[in-house]
Structure 1
Amino acid sequence: MRAGKIRHRITVYKQTSGRSPTGAVLPPTWTAWIVLWASFESLSVKDILTAQAAGSEVEARCMLRYRNDIDSTMQISHNGRRYDIDGEPMPDNRSGREYMTLMLKSVAA
């Protein structure tokens, strides 16, 4: 992937949970984990309609350099909007270790 395409800043969030001082389980919260450079693009209307026909809610695509520590349990933030990662990250076609693509669906505020 060419470096010029990776021009958007995204934040990756992990879900964390903990316990109160009394030992009660606290509800899970989203914590900013890492900030990365990525290529972020919203899907076209045609792609969104095709995805909806297939039963998917995907609205955007994010490509970033390959990492083995990002999975579908995390969220992405870009320009103040939050997205769930829909499915496992998809590796590139060549080596599978150059970049990966995340399919994203919007999170209700």
Structure 2
Amino acid sequence: MRAGDLTDRIVIEHRGPTRSPSGQPVPGDWAPFVTLWADVRHLSGTAAIKAGAETSTVQASMRIRRRTDVDASMRVQFAGTVYKIKAALPGADRTFVDLVCEVTK
């Protein structure tokens, strides 16, 4: 993978652990996990009316260098927008990972 292809800065976030008043671990707010260079490609966008309100969905593919610690329980912040990671797909030559992402507004 050429470094020149990775021109977009993204922040991958995960749920930060917090504790309840009794000391039990509970899912917490989103916390930064890692900041990376990526190649962000917006694949499609759709608009629909659901329950009387207009919604739009944008799908994107974000290619990053190979990592094994990124999964679908995380999310990505890019250009002021939060994307949910739907899948982390390793490349055939194992030099990169494509993050299949989606944002719904």
Measured against the shorter chain, the TM-score band is: 0.7 to 0.9
**Do 2:58 and 2:104's aligned partners in 1 also have CA atoms closer than 8 Å?**
no
When normalised by structure 1's length, the TM-score is 0.75
Q: Could you tell me which amino acid in structure 2 is paired with residue 9 of structure 1? A: R
Separation of aligned partners in 2, 1:13 and 1:107? 17
1:91 aligns with 2:78: no
**Do 1:12 and 1:75's aligned partners in 2 also have CA atoms closer than 8 Å?**
yes
Query: What stretches of structure 1 of length at least 5 have no aligned partner?
Result: 50-56
1:43 — aligned with what? 43
Separation of aligned partners in 1, 2:62 and 2:20? 36
After superposition, the Cα gap between the structure-2 partners of 1:30 and 1:98, relative to the gap in structure 1 and judged at 3 Å, is same
Number of aligned residue pairs: give it: 96
Shift of 1:20: 4.1
Separation of aligned partners in 2, 1:104 and 1:90? 11
After superposition, the Cα gap between the structure-2 partners of 1:21 and 1:8, relative to the gap in structure 1 and judged at 3 Å, is same
Separation of aligned partners in 2, 1:102 and 1:25? 28
Question: Counterpart of 2:19 in 1: which secondary structure?
Answer: coil
Single out whichever of 61-70 and 36-45 deviates more from structure 2.
36-45
**Do 2:66 and 2:96's aligned partners in 1 also have CA atoms closer than 8 Å?**
yes
> Which protein is richer in strand relative to its size?
2
4+ residue segments displaced more than 2 Å: 20-28
Separation of aligned partners in 2, 1:91 and 1:26? 30
Query: What stretches of structure 2 of length at least 5 have no aligned partner?
Result: 48-56
Separation of aligned partners in 1, 2:36 and 2:27? 27
**Do 1:20 and 1:26's aligned partners in 2 also have CA atoms closer than 8 Å?**
yes
Question: Counterpart of 1:28 in 2: which secondary structure?
Answer: strand
> Which protein is richer in helix relative to its size?
1
